[in-house]
Every structure is written in C-alpha cells, then in structure tokens.
Chain A
Amino acid sequence: MSDVEEETEPCGPTPSRELTQNPLKKIWMPYKNGQPEKHISQRKVCMTNCPTLIVTVGLPARGKTYISKKLTRYLNWIGVPTKEFNVGQYRRQCVKIYKSFEFFRPDNEEGLKIRKQCASAALNDVRQYLTEEGGQVAVFDATNTTRERRETITRFAEQNGFKVFFVESVCEDPDVIAENIVQVKLGSPDYTHCNTEQAVEDFMKRIKCYENSYQPLDQVLDRELSFIKIIDVGRRYLVNRVQDHIQSRIVYYLMNIHITPRSIYLCRHGESELNIKGRIGGDSGLTVRGKEFARCLAQFINEQDISDLKVWTSQMKRTIQTAEALGVPYEQWKALNEIDAGVCEELMYEEIQERYPLEFALRDQDKYRYRYPKGESYEDLVQRLEPVIMELERQENVLVICHQAVMRCLLAYFLDKSAEELPYLKCPLHTVLKLTPVAYGCKVESIFLKVVAVNTHRERPENVDVSRLPEEALLTVPSHQ
C-alpha cells in the first residue's frame, strides 16, 4: 500500500465516536455528552440532494391530473414529501364562476393575463413548499403546452436550485378522451350548472383552444431536458436524460400503472389461534371460526364472479390456510408477512407492558416509526411492501390475503392516508375491503362476511407518557381469552 502523505492535516483516521441506539427507531447513531449528534447518515437512501419539480405537459383530458395525484400519493407513501399544485384550482379561486370555453381562447387577453398570474402564484407556492416547508418533490400540474411556458418554468427552477422533470401525456384515442371527460370533467366545479351534453361540447371546444399552439416535447429540440413522454396511456414511452434516483423511480412507477378497470380485494387471514389469545405475531393456524371465514370467503369470491382473479398470500400459515379454502392457485409473497415484533413476538399486550413498559410507551408515541427491538416498524413494512404495490399496479383483479399491519400499509397507499393515520386504520378480521379505482381516487366497499371474530384493534390510549400507570397503558387493549 502507498504510504505517501501529502496533506498537512493530522494523519491517521478520526477516532470512532461512541454509538448509541435511538430508542424509537433502534438506529445506531454517534453521541456526544449524552446527546445524539446530528449526522448525515440516513436511514434510507438519500433520494435526491436537491428538490425536484415535476412538470406535467399535455392537452386537456390527457390524464395529467390523474398522473399528478397518483404520483404524489405514491411518493408520499414511500416517504418522499410531495405535493401537487393544480393551476386549474388556482384559476377557479381567481375566477369564481366559470362561464365558458371562451376564457381559454388564445386571443382572450384578459383570460391569458389571469392564467399567467395563476401559474405564477402556483410557482410561488411551489417555491415555498420546497424551500421552507420541507417538501422534496412538487408536481406542477398544468397544460404547459408551449415551449415558452416551459422555458419560464425551467428558469424558475434553475434560479431556485430545483431539478426539473417533465411528464407529458400524448393521446389521440377519442374513446380514451371521451371516457376521461365522463369520469372527471362532468363532475368538475366548472360544470355544475350544465347538463352532460353542454359540458361535453364546451370541454371539446376548450381542448381546441390549446391545440393550435401545442408544442409537444421533441426528442431533438428538447434533448437537453429530462422528461418522459407517455403515449396512448402507456403503449409507448420516450424517456430522456433521467438524472437521478428519484427520477428513475418515477419513470419506473409511471411505466407500471394502467387505467384498465379492475378491483383489488384486501382481507386478513381468518381468525387465528393466537388472535383469540390476544397474542401478537407468531405463525399459528386458523381457529374453527377462522376456517368458517375461509369457506365464506370462497363463496363470496365465487359470487363476485371476477374475471382472471389472482390470489396472493403471505408465507405464514394462517393466510395460506385461508387461501387453500378457495381451491384456486395462489402466490405466496414473503413480503406480505406480518410485521416482525422482534422480542415481543407471541406476547400479549399485558405481557409487553409488564416486560417492556418503556417500549410500549414509545410505540404509542409514534406508532409509525417505532421499531420493535430486533423487529420492524411500520416504516420498514412500507419499504418491503413497495414491490407488492408495484406489482398490484401492474395487475388487474387481485385478492390479497394478508395481516393487520400489512393491510393497513396497503390501504394507506390506496386511500392516501398519512403516516400518522396509517397504524390506526381499522382492518378487522373477517371483513373484505373491495377497492375500485374511480376518477382520481378509490371507491371502498367493506363487506363483513358474517363470521364472528375477536377484535384485534388497539386504539391509541390517552396517556402515552413513559411515566404512565399500567392501567393507562392497557386501557384500549381489546378483550381476549
């Protein structure tokens, strides 16, 4: 090895700092004078070192808002603080009452002025979100159909040190556009005073206003920009100059989503032996009632008459037993296994309070980030469920038979629930949730299959302080054998 020493700084490596394990997340970090030191070491990959501005491009009714909302939901779920800024909404706040498509005519000076102001106001809020409010990604949702407008945005981003990534949707299929209008435009605040025919007519004229000046992203003229062009709802993609990890993940996500109508069924395994004893985790079998549920589930699925249903389970006995009753092929995913409670596996809440009162209190303080000793946190679960979500996006009709914490994470993704709400979402046994994507969100139908089961939902108690009395900690524990 070389022994050349050029620098004047002290030779020899930095003495190792002492490490302490953060009590909530169980992360090892250096500390000084009894306090954890601020350190750049991250728990997960540092996605990007400067904020990213995603800019949609496309004529009206091309799915820009659909993509913006979905992308925002996905990024927030995987832990990247993201917010969407819809210029149309700014316009509606400015121009209280929408009269007609004439507002969008290219020769309407007054209209143009207002639209420009709205775009500026939105960009201003973008700047605030990314620089002062801790945002990492902002999605600027507008038509942005001219090169001139996009240059303005690029300049804005450069001035503020943001990276820019364009997402363009190009579609000429009249059926897709018509369906789009039916699903999201007819119900828009702009058209509350119109009947369907009037709304459709007006909207088509609105689209016409943009068509003449539309300059799609071009692989030659715009070769220095970073973008993805989505053609015909995902039949084809043109991807140019992906700069970093987050853009790569965004591209992968956009290339996996589709709009084919379908439903996702989520349920837990049937009631298990450990469930009735009030014990968490483990790998036990179904109780008699749990088996009854499995039979009812088979019947329910048959009645639903779902085309090409895929069935997924975890690799734990109770979900597989449940799936076996269906009599159809199923796929076992290790990633769908219940949260690993580490040293608390198979304990009752009463035992956790007795043996680990501090842990129990910390968990109630921040249930999402809390990691069981030698176990996992909800935050860890989300990370391991990401490939499941990606594959759910690719698939059509799927039934996922999983577990309470896992189901909460999946549900939070589909229903856009925050990290604070996620660990308290109600996912009772013997209840199937049917999720059907509609407009910009998800319709949820809850079907209880009428087989009684124990309750496993523990609400957050009032007192989460480590100094609390055992009774206060155990206040919300559901009853069990």
Chain B
Amino acid sequence: MSAEHLALTQTLLLKIWVPWASGSSNQRRGSSRPQFTNSPTIIVMVGLPARGKTYISKKLTRYLNWIGVPTQDNQEAMKIHRACTSNALKDIANYFAKEQGQVAVFDATNTTQEKRGVIISFAKERGYKVFFIESICDDPEIIEANIMELKVSSPDYEDCDKEEALEDFLKRIECYKSTYVSLDEEKDRHLSYIKIFNVGSRYLVNRVQDHIQSRIVYYLMNIHVTPRSIYLSRHGESELNLLGRIGGDSSLSSQGKRYASALSTFIRNQAIKDLKVWTSHMKRTIQTAEALGVPYEQWKALNEIDAGVCEEMTYEEIQENYPEEFAIRDQDKYRYRYPKGESYEDMVHRLEPVIMELERQENVLVICHQAIMRCLLAYFLDKPADELPYLKCPLHTVLKLTPVAYGCKLESFYLNVKAVNTHRDKPTNVDVTRRPEEALQTVPEHV
C-alpha cells in the first residue's frame, strides 16, 4: 500500500480527519459517530393503562434524541390509526428507511401475546431488533395518583366529577385486565426485555442484545418519579464577560459578586429540602457557590465549552483571525468544533453522566456556564440540536425546572442584578464570503 493512501485532511466543521481522496462520507471507513447499534430497534411498551408507559416512552425518547440517537415516539401514530398495528408498523418502517431513524418507541397497550407476535414477525422480516419495556404496578395508590394526574384531566372526562372519572377509568382498566398477558419468564425467554415493577423498586432484565439496549436499561433504572425541582443558573457575571471575551477562567466582576449574594438569598427563601449544589471546576462558578455558604460538588464535566484557539478572544477578534471558522460556526453551531476545542455535540457527550446523576437525585442547583446550561436545558425541555445552541440563558437568571405530567414546568427568576448580555443570535448572512459587519451584526455590546 503506498504512502499516499495515508494522506488525510481535516473536515472544516467537525475537525474530523478523513482520507484526502475519499468522496462522500459513505465511502469512508472511519466512522466518527458512535456505533450504538447496527440495526434499527423497535421499543415496545407493554402494560395496563395508568402504568406509566407514556411517561416512560416520552422520557426515553427525549433522552435518546438528546444523546444523538434519532428516536421517534409513535404514540400519536397509534392514536391516528386507532390501534391499527399494521399501519403504525408501516410508519415505523418508513421512519427507519427514509428518515434514518434508529429507534422507534411503540407505545400502545400491547397487552396480548398475539399482538406482540405481529410486531416480532414484522421486525424479524426486516432485520430490526425488538426490545420490550413492561411496566407492572400492583400498588393501588400509585395507580390512583397516575390516573388523577393524567387521565382525569383528559377531554374524555371533561364533564365528569373527579370521583366518577376515577371510577370510570378503573373500570376501563378492568376490561383490559381480562386480555392482558404479562411477558412470561418461560414462554418469552428468547425475547429481549425489561420488566419494571412498582415504579422501579424491582427490575427483571432479559437478554440485552447490544449497546443501545444496555444504555436504555441503565437509564430506566436511574429515573424516578419523586417530586423535586432542578435549578439551573450560570455563574455571576465575570471579568471576561464584561470585556466580551469568551471562555477563560476569570473571576466574578462586582456585579457578579452581587448576583452570588442575591442567589444565596433566593435559595434560602425557596426553602428547598436537602438541596445539592453542583459547580464546574472554573473559578467563576465556584466563587458563586461560595456565597451560598453550603457544601457543593465540583464537576469537571460542567466546565464551559473549550473554544480551543479562540479561548479568551472577543467575537471581533475571532472574525479578524478566523473569519472562515466564524462563518462555519454560524452555519452549524451544534456540530461546529473549535480548532483544538470542542463542539456542542462534544459537550452533550460529556454531560451525559451529569444528566444521569441529575435523574437519580432530587433537589439540585447546578451553577454552570452558557453553553453547558443550553445543553442541559435542551435535555429537560426536549429542544432539538438546531435550537439548542441558541437557547436563551442570560446571566443572573435562575431557571427552575419541575417535572410535571409528561414534561417539565419552567419558571424563570431574574434576580434583579444587572449584567451584560452574552447572547449572540445567528446572523442573517452565514456565508464564508460575508463582510465583517455582517458577521458581527448580532454581537452583544461589551466594554
């Protein structure tokens, strides 16, 4: 093999090394995408009504999409097709083949063995994998709480009194019970599945086939439904913020210190039970936490995005020194990797253990940075990759996230301490040929 074959070039956006002569990315032998699985997977939710299937499927879909596994929740499809399995399955096949989906969650009351058999055959024919998630609950209190929170507020029960609605729904469940057949340890021993008992006090896991199923199991075993709130905030305004410079490891400005005090007051007034406080390893978040006067944990994974060669530059300097990089960044801010630095995509990857631990925990205050906070927020609010880098996370504002029903309630608290704006919107012209003024159009003011 000649030496020329080893000539490589680095792609402009992702900074990935690829063979010089290679054509489309399909011809490349080197994959920079993690290989979670080699075939698409259908996740089938099993269980009686009010067992948390929709909750689990929505949450799982959100998580998988966030870590970069294109996933679709087919609950709506099922409703449209009025529980017509074969049409819903066609939708799934389409999603896998035409839309490059990797996982489809089939959320329906797949309670009979026959119905499950149909899905299994369908998958086998096409080379898809199937993974079942069964939720079993025999605690009447949990079931009632589920029903009250989610079902009774549905349009079906608009004109009913709550007690009647509850009774009616319980009767509905009874109807399903007569045909419901749980996954059987013996008969279904060749299937891949997880059975979740009573909201996670016990799990039965059978035949995990690959990486993505292993990750799904790990995720499901870490989530809980205990009420709690997650507070996200950036560090107080920093010296470099004032100068319009990105990155670095500077101290709080005087306004930033005032914010830290205000944050302390705010937190105390919220009277949060057993609050955990997390910061990054960077001085500005730690200085902010110090003002709270409580123990805090430092996570390196919460450090701000590494801007590589652009660290501590102003946007004006980046435009001057690296105009092409600046333009490419505006073209695809999520995937763009700074030279010798990181991308938002890289950050999501390193934040995954943080998210996993946030799922395990209860009340937590995370003091972090702009890009980090955008990634975390995108996870909780299910924002796609193209919106994530433009989410508004201003300084001196606390976001309180409280899981409710199938999503997250968001409350924003501006603590009334002035700070510079660090949010740069996507400019109109993102072409590499643009003029400097066009590139710098949306740069926020600074000293």
Contact = CB atoms under 8 A, between A and B. Distances in A.
B214 A320 contact: no
Nearest to B31: A331
Contact of B30 (A288, A294, A313): A313
B369 to A, nearest CB: 14
Interface stretch (B104-112, B294-302, B381-389): B294-302
Question: Majority SS of interface residues in chain B?
Answer: mixed
B297 A41 contact: yes
A16 B265 contact: no
A400 B340 CA distance: 22
B297 A46 contact: yes
A474 to B, nearest CB: 27
B17 A240 contact: no
Given A320-B30, A391-B211, A332 B16 contact: yes
Interface stretch (B3-11, B156-164, B318-326): B3-11
Interface string B76-103: 0000000000000000000000000000
A295 B290 CA distance: 56
Interface string B228-270: 0000000000000000000001000000010011011110110
A394 interface: yes
A245 B356 CA distance: 10
Contacts of A252: 214, 218, 221
A187 to B, nearest CB: 32
A331 B29 CA distance: 8
A196 interface: no
Contact of B291 (A14, A329, A333): A14
B208 interface: yes
Contact of A242 (B35, B221, B296): B221
A19 B214 contact: no
Interface in A258-294: 283, 285-286, 288, 291, 294
Contacts of B8: 285, 317, 320-321, 324
B203 interface: yes
Given A298-B1, A329-B31, A380-B300, A219 B290 contact: no
A251 B214 CA distance: 11
Nearest to B265: A13
A28 B283 contact: yes
A44 interface: yes
B39 interface: no
B202 A237 contact: no
Task: Identify which of A26, A236, A286, A374 gathers the most chain B CB atoms within 10 Å of its CB.
Answer: A236
Given A12-B265, A256-B214, A325 B5 contact: yes
A383 interface: yes
Nearest to B280: A28
A283 B249 CA distance: 25
B287 A16 contact: yes
A332 B10 CA distance: 13
Interface in A104-137: none
B177 interface: no
Contact of A42 (B35, B249, B283, B298): B298
Contacts of A17: 290
Contact of A334 (B217, B265, B287, B349): B349
Interface in A334-363: 334
Contact of B266 (A1, A42, A45): A1
Given A237-B204, A240-B202, A286-B6, A13 B293 contact: yes
A1 B269 contact: yes
B207 A235 contact: yes
Interface string B180-211: 00000000010000000000011111111001
Interface in B6-55: 6, 8, 10, 15-17, 19, 29-32, 34-35
Nearest to A252: B218
A90 interface: no
Given A41-B296, A45-B297, A12 B349 contact: no
Interface residues of B, number: 65
A181 B274 CA distance: 50
A325 B289 CA distance: 51
Given A46-B297, A332-B32, A239 B207 contact: no
A17 B287 CA distance: 8
Given A41-B298, A320-B17, A16 B35 contact: no
A28 B30 contact: no
B77 to A, nearest CB: 31
B292 A13 contact: yes
A221 interface: no
Contacts of B291: 13-16
Contacts of B283: 19, 21, 28
A283 B341 CA distance: 12
Nearest to A251: B221
A13 B261 contact: yes
A154 interface: no
Contacts of B202: 219, 223, 238-241
Interface in A2-20: 2-4, 12-17, 19
A391 B34 CA distance: 11
A28 B293 contact: no
A315 B211 contact: no
Most B C-beta atoms less than 10 A away, residue of A14, A286, A316: A14
B281 A315 contact: no
A193 interface: no
Contacts of A245: 357, 360
B346 interface: yes
Given A19-B283, A236-B207, A324-B6, A255 B300 contact: no
A446 interface: no
A27 B287 contact: no
B417 to A, nearest CB: 12
Nearest to A26: B281
B203 A238 contact: yes
Interface in A410-434: none
B429 interface: no
Nearest to B354: A45
B205 A237 contact: yes
Nearest to A313: B30
Best-buried of B17, B202, B279 by chain A (most CB within 10 Å): B17
Interface string A20-38: 0100001110100000000
Interface string B47-80: 0000000000000000000000000000000000
B395 interface: no
B412 interface: no
A43 B291 CA distance: 19
Interface centre among A2, A223, A286, A323 (most CB of B within 10 A): A2
Nearest to A244: B360
A330 interface: yes
Given A41-B297, A328-B29, A331-B34, A315 B16 contact: yes
A236 B204 contact: yes
Contacts of A40: 295-296
A89 interface: no
A13 B31 contact: no
B222 A248 contact: yes
Nearest to A17: B290
B299 A255 contact: no
11 contacts: A13-B264, A28-B281, A41-B295, A41-B297, A236-B189, A256-B214, A283-B340, A294-B6, A331-B34, A332-B17, A380-B300
Q: For the complex of A and B, list the 8 residue pairs with the smallest distance between their C-beta atoms, beginning with the closest.
A: A13-B264, A14-B293, A40-B295, A16-B290, A239-B203, A237-B205, A332-B32, A320-B17
Given A1-B265, A43-B300, 16 more contacts: A3-B269, A13-B292, A26-B281, A27-B281, A41-B296, A236-B189, A236-B205, A237-B204, A239-B205, A252-B221, A320-B17, A324-B19, A327-B29, A331-B30, A332-B16, A332-B30
Interface of B: 1, 3, 5-6, 8, 10, 15-17, 19, 29-32, 34-35, 189, 201-208, 211, 214, 217-218, 221-222, 249, 257, 260-261, 263-266, 268-269, 279, 281-283, 286-287, 289-293, 295-300, 340, 346, 349-350, 357, 360, 413
